[in-house]
Structure 1
Amino acid sequence: MSTGSCMCNAVRYEYQGEPDVTALCHCIDCQKWSGAAYTSNVVVQRKAFKVTQGEPKSYAVTGASGKKNNHWFCGDCGSELYTELEIMPDQTCIKSGSIDDRSVRDYSVGVEFYTQDRMKYCQAVKDAKQVPQFG
């Protein structure tokens, strides 16, 4: 079992098992949400993920895929925690930086999504599958 939390620890979660994949997402939605060039995600089965403390806030937007993206975050400190995508109904995309176990740094990136929107100063990750768009 792995755990994670927001910066202020008001919201905590856990997930069972190994990630399905680790992914960087360069879509405009992720750029706007994070204020960064991309989001770093550990993708797990939705049924293996649960919030164990607090009540994260959420909002939904229509992503570039035309499907809903539900973003979950701490209402107190604003930390981004996870995303649930309509296009990936069985998976939860946990924001890597919110995971407590720092061994997440040892994971290799398996895929980069929306490479068509990647900032020019970001290079493709060697050996990661490159997906121009998703959906």
Structure 2
Amino acid sequence: MASGSCMCGDIKYEYTGEPAVTALCHCIDCQKWTGGAYTSNVVVPRTNFKVTSGSPKTWDAKGDSGKVNKHFFCGQCGSSLYTELEVMPDVTCVKAGGLDNGAASLGGKVGVEFYTKDRVSYLHEVSGAKQEPQFG
């Protein structure tokens, strides 16, 4: 099991089992969502994920697929928590920065980098990670 929270601690969550994949996403939406160069994600089955405290707020964005990318965040401190994508209805993309106990390191392994076409110029590919110019 892994757990995490927002910065102020109002929202807490956990998931069980191993992630389906660990991923960085360099798309422009993720850059805006984090205020950084990419998002770092632990992708887990939705049935293994649950919010254990608090009620996140949501904001919907339309992805390149034309389908909804639902963003969950803390209404108090604004922390990005996780996303649920209509194109991936069986998984939750947990933002790794909110994970407890150093789990933001993704166990030292990034499985895939998405939207490498939008990767900022000062970053380089992660060795051993699958490189996808877009999603899928």
Classify the secondary structure of the residue corresponding to 2:51. Answer: strand
Counterpart residue identity of residue 122, structure 1: L
Q: 1:1-135 alignment to 2 at 5 Å?
A: 1-105=1-105, 106-135=107-136
| Superposed displacement of residue 107, structure 1 | 3.4
Counterpart residue identity of residue 42, structure 2: V
Classify the secondary structure of the residue corresponding to 1:66. Answer: coil
| Superposed displacement of residue 104, structure 1 | 4.3
Q: Which ranges of structure 1 fall in alignment gaps of 5 or more residues?
A: none
Structure 1 contact 65–134 (Cα < 8 Å) conserved: no
Classify the secondary structure of the residue corresponding to 1:133. Answer: coil
Cα distance in 2 for partners of 1:21, 1:107 equals 13
- Matched pairs, number: 135
Q: Which stretches of structure 1, 4 residues or more, deviate above 6 A after TM superposition? A: none
Counterpart residue identity of residue 130, structure 2: K
Percentage of matched positions with identical amino acids: 64
Cα distance in 1 for partners of 2:104, 2:17 equals 13
Cα distance in 1 for partners of 2:60, 2:8 equals 23
| Superposed displacement of residue 64, structure 1 | 2.0
Q: Which ranges of structure 2 fall in alignment gaps of 5 or more residues?
A: none
Cα distance in 2 for partners of 1:107, 1:22 equals 10
Does 83-92 or 61-70 show the bigger shift? 61-70
| Superposed displacement of residue 134, structure 1 | 1.3
Cα distance in 2 for partners of 1:103, 1:78 equals 20
Classify the secondary structure of the residue corresponding to 1:88. Answer: coil
CA RMSD across the alignment: 1.1
